Amino acid sequence: MDSKNDDSAWTKKGATLSNKSAQKEFGLTFEEIVEGIRAGKLQYRENSVYGSPFLRLIRQEVEALVNEKYGKDYLKKKHLKKELAEVNKTLRQLKSQTLSLEKRKAELLELLGNPERD
């Protein structure tokens, strides 16, 4: 990679992630990240926040490593599963909210003295 491209990747918002985020988001282990660094597939920078050290990695390189290691469909499936989980969570919240609103509606109609028939 060109040094100029390297710097832009390090400064763009969302173009980097920590080793902890890479582990959580892509299912990598710390050992796999270290292997990728040693093999020259991942660039890193050492950072720390409030005295806690971590590695800063370039997202595009991490994605390429995951694609190479687990196949192209792995990331696609992982993103689809995450989206499905979010949709299911939202549906559960909406069902709960609907039930509480229906209950409140019935209470209000009863207080008004004219129960509405659906």
Domain ranges of the chain: 1-70, 71-118
- What's the CA gap between 20 and 99, in Å, rounded? 39
What string of pLDDT tens digits covers the 118 residues of the chain?
Answer: 455 555 688 999 989 999 999 999 998 999 999 999 999 999 999 999 999 999 999 999 999 999 999 988 998 898 899 999 999 999 999 999 999 999 999 999 999 987 565 5
Q: What is the pLDDT of residue 116?
A: 61
The DSSP element (H or E) to which 45 belongs, if any, is strand 44-49
Q: What is the pLDDT of residue 117?
A: 58
Cβ atoms of 41 and 65 closer than 8 Å: yes
Q: What is the pLDDT of residue 4?
A: 53
Residues 6+ apart with CB under 8 A from 14: 59
Q: CATH class for domain 1-70?
A: mainly alpha
Which residue has tokens 């796999």? 32
For the whole prediction, is pTM greater than 0.85? no
